């Protein structure tokens, strides 16, 4: 991920962030909240970062805030997820760990029994 840049004003439109009192007085406007584009790292305001996009190659499998110019650039990028997600939501009422086999058994409130391979967690 890019290093987040520091700025007292939006790096796209130049409007001040809320802690920049001098610029707020000079421009006669309220300060804005600062956000960071997850693709380029620029400090931007809400108006200049209206887009959201997934960036799997950077580890962002779900949509994250990006500035408007980066959103245009990201439209042509491959957004195929690089991770596999498993829905593990069930209220566990019993668990049993078998360290020798590196397995975890869970029993849910819905009476669903799941056997988990936890070898990666025990390394």
Per residue in 1-58, pLDDT tens? Answer: 789 998 888 999 988 887 777 877 787 787 778 889 999 999 999 999 999 999 998 9
Distances 60 to 51, 65, 87 between C-alpha atoms, Å:
14, 10, 18
Q: What is d(CA 9, CA 58) in angstroms, rounded to the nearest whole number?
A: 26
Q: What is d(CA 42, CA 6) in angstroms, rounded to the nearest whole number?
A: 8
Neighbours of 35 (CB within 10 A): 18
CATH class of 1-82: alpha beta
- The band of 71, judged by pLDDT with boundaries at 50, 70 and 90, is very high
Which pLDDT belongs to residue 93?
Answer: 94
- The band of 86, judged by pLDDT with boundaries at 50, 70 and 90, is low
Would you list the domain boundaries of the chain? 1-82, 86-123
Phi/psi of residue 18, each to 5°? Answer: -65, -20
The alpha carbon dihedral of 49, 53, 59, 62 has a sign of positive
């Amino acid at each position: 991920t890019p290093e987040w840049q520091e700025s007292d004003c939006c790096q796209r439109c130049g409007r001040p962030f809320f802690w920049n009192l001098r610029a707020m007085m000079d421009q006669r406007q309220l300060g804005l909240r600062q956000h960071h584009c997850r693709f380029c790292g620029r400090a931007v305001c809400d108006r200049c970062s209206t887009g959201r996009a997934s960036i799997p190659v950077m580890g962002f499998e779900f949509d994250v805030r990006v500035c408007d110019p980066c959103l245009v650039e990201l439209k042509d990028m491959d957004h195929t997820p690089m991770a596999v997600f498993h829905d593990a939501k069930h209220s566990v009422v019993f668990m049993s760990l078998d360290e020798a086999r590196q397995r975890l058994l869970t029993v849910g409130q819905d009476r669903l029994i799941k056997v988990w391979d936890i070898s990666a967690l025990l390394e």
